[in-house]
Structure 1
Amino acid sequence: MTPTKTRTGFNSHAILLITASAGCWGFGTVISKEVLATVPPLTVLAVQLSTSIVVLWLLAVWQGHVARLRQHPWLTWIKLATPGIFEPGLSYGFGLIGLSLSSASQAALIGATEPVFILGLAWLLFRESISLKLLMLSALAMMGVMLTVGSQPANGGQILLGNLWILLGTFCAAFYVLLSRRAVADHDPLILSALQQTIGLVCIVLFSWKFGVGFQFSSTIPIQIWLMAALSGIVQYALAFWLYLSAIRLIPVSIAAQFLSLIPVFGVGGAYLFLGERLTLIQGMGMTITIAAVSQISRSQSSPE
């Protein structure tokens, strides 16, 4: 089945995949925030990526993807891995630095601007068709996000700096989606995730070496913190990327991107339940608007073209 055929209509399987990936990213942010209270950002990222990479490569070997990929030249391996420089490399590197200065709620909500970046880049680079209805629903979803962001109290320059790092990471994530768009048509999302996250980890190691920021693996940190970091790596990297790449094989990235607006719903809800972060009435209204807009996008995809 080619991507062209599957993208012409509604695909409930893709909607389920993309929603699940949003849930993984949202809840993964909450777990990361808890770990960051004890472990430095780049160390957290190294643990998360290492765990995810091990899981993905084991699954790729088990399913025979590595054997098939060996039939291609090394240049193909490098080409498929390149998007990993932007995400998780730059995206999560910047994002975790920002998260250490901001809150899990803010990080999840700023991350919801990714669909807007993707929508613009999909039109600019690939001339992907974007209907007026989709633009309006995307704007409505962003209105919900902005309501929630606007309800957050001002906490000084440190929060602002953290949010700027997160925003820069979000743009890198959007660019990653566009780079990966064509690769998933011919290659399995599992092996793509493994390759991209491997090169992402290499970028993080080089980044830390270049700027003299070493990884800190202190023996005084409780084992449960390291286990949480590993768990967040599986949820936020292995599962989330695998699910998302699987979804964009079936629907256009301009549609899939809108479901990423659900990340704040999972992120803010998880931060409220597990981290005790404040949830205001305006935040609740913003979340409701976002869910309504994304639900309408899903319904519109179920209607005949």
Structure 2
Amino acid sequence: MKKTIIALSYAFCWGVGVTLTKIALSEIAPTTLLIIQLSASVGFLVTACYLQNRQFPCSWHQLQQGIAGIFEPALAYMVSIFGVQLTTASNATLIGSSEVILTILFAAIFLGEKLTPIKVLLASISFLGIVLLMLQDTAGANQASLTGDLLVLLGTLFAVVYVLLSKKQISTVDPLQLTSSQQLVGLIATVSGFGILSVVNPNYEISAIGISWPFWLLAIGSGIMQYALAFLLYLIALQNLPVSHAAFYIALIPVFGVVSAIVILGEQLSLAQSIGGGLVIASSYCAHRLKPA
């Protein structure tokens, strides 16, 4: 029961965090928002580490342990930001949802987790459910760039690499310390990447000028939820769950995202979205019932 609550919690944090990010993007540029969110996450995690161990996770050894943070959140989110700008939001979401299937396949190849027909079937049902969840957005989209789609797919692959690296580490490292190290490395890589881009193209310059206090609080709060809490809970879950099992809960992120958009933004839920959400929930429940191989 505890494993299920933790798994549902990281899906909830990511899903609701996406909705809060959508709201924040109405006033804050994507690159600036990502830096603010990551900074808030690192501040929260570093403070938690200090309260727990009376030390900051900033030693060279700990930074080396956080190398996976280069892949996610740094590369995964940086690449995805540019991909989303070039393609449609619905395409980006659908491509991102392939993370469930890719994670299961990569876990079988690199971690030796058993790839069973039932896992493939449940992953396919989950993917179909996500397609139905996004059907309303897809119907209103007319343009998509192949370059944008490929960038989103690349970002998804970076996220899968992060999962594989983290799974190998989490059995010997404290989740809070590992999350803090990864997020700190991710922040350093993101600031460096955007800094270089801003020199090449001023459009990518990070600027917090003109952001109102409510949106500052929204950016900070969504950063703590979407990065600090979600990643921490995910790593805690990986301690006791196979990667392929934890992946099915990632599929619930769009479900929580759609529900939170209905509650917070007043969006309407279509019949197709209801069916899609039901399929995702059903596949995740069945995956939860599977015995780890």
Q: Same fold (TM over 0.5)?
A: yes
Question: Cα distance, 1:170 vs. partner?
Answer: 2.0
Checking the alignment, whether the CA contact within 8 Å between 1:109 and 1:148 is kept in structure 2 is no
Task: Give the C-alpha shift of residue 94 in structure 1.
Answer: 2.6
* Equivalent of 1:271 in 261, 272, 279: 261
Instruction: Say if 2:50 is the partner of 1:58.
Output: no
Distance 1:239 1:102 in 2: 29
Give the aligned length.
287
Shift, 1:168, TM fit: 2.8
Deviation at 1:62, TM superposition (A): 1.0
Identity of aligned residues (%): 35
**Long gaps (5+) in structure 1:** 1-11
Using the size of structure 2 for normalisation, the TM-score is 0.89
Aligned-partner Cα distance in 2 for 1:14–1:90: 29
RMSD over aligned CA atoms reads 2.5
Among 242, 249, 257, the alignment partner of 2:232 is 242
Q: Which of 52, 64, 78 matches 1:93?
A: 78
What are the within-5 Å matches in structure 2 for residues 208-287 of structure 1?
Answer: 208-212=194-198, 213-218=204-209, 220-287=210-277
Structure 1 counterpart of 2:20, from 31, 41, 44:
31
CA distance, structure 1, for counterparts of residue 24 and residue 148 of structure 2 = 17
Given that residues 65 and 191 in structure 1 are in contact (C-alpha distance below 8 angstroms), is that contact kept between their aligned partners in structure 2?
A: no
Cα gap change, 1:82 to 1:298, in 2 (>3 Å): same
Partner of 2:163: 177
Q: Is the 8 A contact 1:109 1:149 kept in 2?
A: yes
- Separation (CA, whole Å) in 2 of partners of 1:270 and 1:227: 18
1-structure distance, mates of 2:270, 2:189: 38
Partners of 1:79 and 1:50 in 2: how far apart?
Answer: 19
**Cα deviations across residues 79-126 of structure 1 (Å, max 9, x unaligned)?**
311100010001122334455677777655543321111111111112
Q: Distance in 2 between matches of 1:253 and 1:245?
A: 10
Partner of 2:201: none
Structure 1 distance, partners of 2:155, 2:86, is 14
Q: CA deviation at 1:301?
A: 3.7
Structure 2 Cα separation of the partners of residues 87 and 64 of structure 1: 25
8 Å Cα contact 1:144-1:287 kept in structure 2? yes
Confirm whether residue 20 of structure 1 aligns to residue 15 of structure 2.
Answer: no
What SS is found at the alignment partner of 2:240? coil
Cα pair distance change 1:129/1:60, threshold 3 Å: same
* Aligned pair partner of 2:129 in 123, 141, 144: 144
Identify the residue that residue 32 of structure 2 maps to in structure 1. Answer: 43
What letter matches 2:166 in structure 1?
S
